[in-house]
Amino acid sequence: MDYDMIDFVDLEDLDVLETSRQFHRRRLRVNPFEMSDEDFRYKYRFTKRFGEKIVDLLREDLTHDPRGCPLSPELQVVCALRNWARHEIQDDTADLHGVSQPVVSTTCKRVAEILSRMSRRFIRMPATVNEQAETIRKFRNIANFPTVIGAIDCTHIRVKKVNADGGQLYINRKGFSSINVQVVCDADLKIMDIVTRWRGSVHDSRIFRECRLKQRFEAGAFSGILLGDSGYPCTPYLFTPILNPASPQEERYNRCHIRTRNTVERCFGLWKQRFRCLLRGMFGDVETAKKTIVACAVLHNIAIDMREDVFPGEDSFEQPSSREPIAQSYIPNSVRGNIRRRQFIEMHF
């Protein structure tokens, strides 16, 4: 081999190149909250006011990280927001903010963990009598369906293929790996309860059967009922549609049930429109994905409280339910549930 034909790079030149890259990254690392409101919203799909609210909420935890972090709380929050809201690959987020991809990855995990730890402050069922009465009133304004305290359903959040033992259990009926996330929402589309621990192959009815919320309903913690689709059994505290209505009363019940329960479908649409990572899937490991889903639920509720509009000019991701009809024999209604629903229809419809 003719070594004279090969151009060798001087090690000093490599050191100069690396120093230049580090300087370039530091030079790019500016405070994003110094840009205009319009530019901020274009880059992060949320208003600057919302971003400042999240920074204030997380500042203490982000500042006192025992492991240390090269980024300010402001940069950590906007990196996570951009990565989740735009579902942007982390290399692009890193280049925009003058950091490396591993720093963005670590930052997103840290922000997700902190938000998921404080989720009980923002994701909760109405506890007091007044809160429950107000929730029931708002649901009744939709289609005059009385005593509804929440609409329940599940949605599949795609995750990358799980290669560990039991990874096949994450594959859902549509053929891709996912986490089956159970959500209960109110009439304002806020998430009041969320369960993210179940694999994609698990049926919706089992998730509810084994969740703590069911135990609370059975213990009489709530004065209202839940509305669910035919994927759930009818119980005294969870009403489902009548599969074969045989009277005008039952038809009216079904119409009002569908319009009222549709709030959870709209909640999924709005939630996934704000955070495209929920629509297109998670890149990281499953445990990080679960925390990120909860973190996005917390941010979704804060956005609703702040009356944060969805970023304009985007295609709507709200999708009608594509659930396949489920044979009633697989999810039998309880006798008490059928009796309670029949009495309810006779009284109100």
Angstrom distance (rounded) from CA 27 to CA 19: 12
Give the up-direction half-sphere exposure of residue 26: CA atoms within 13 A in the CB hemisphere.
7
Residue 343 CB neighbours (<10 A):
11
Tens-level pLDDT at each residue, the chain (349 residues): 443 433 434 434 434 434 444 444 444 566 788 888 888 888 899 999 999 999 999 998 887 655 555 688 999 999 999 999 988 778 888 888 888 888 888 899 999 999 999 999 999 999 899 999 999 999 999 999 999 999 999 999 999 888 777 778 888 888 889 999 999 999 999 999 999 999 999 999 999 999 999 999 999 899 999 999 988 999 999 999 998 888 899 999 999 999 999 999 999 999 999 999 999 888 888 999 999 999 999 999 999 999 988 876 544 444 444 343 333 334 666 788 888 999 999 998 8
Q: What is the pTM of this model?
A: 0.85
Q: In the chain, at which residue ranges do the beta strands (DSSP E only) sit?
A: 148-158, 178-185, 191-199, 225-227, 238-239
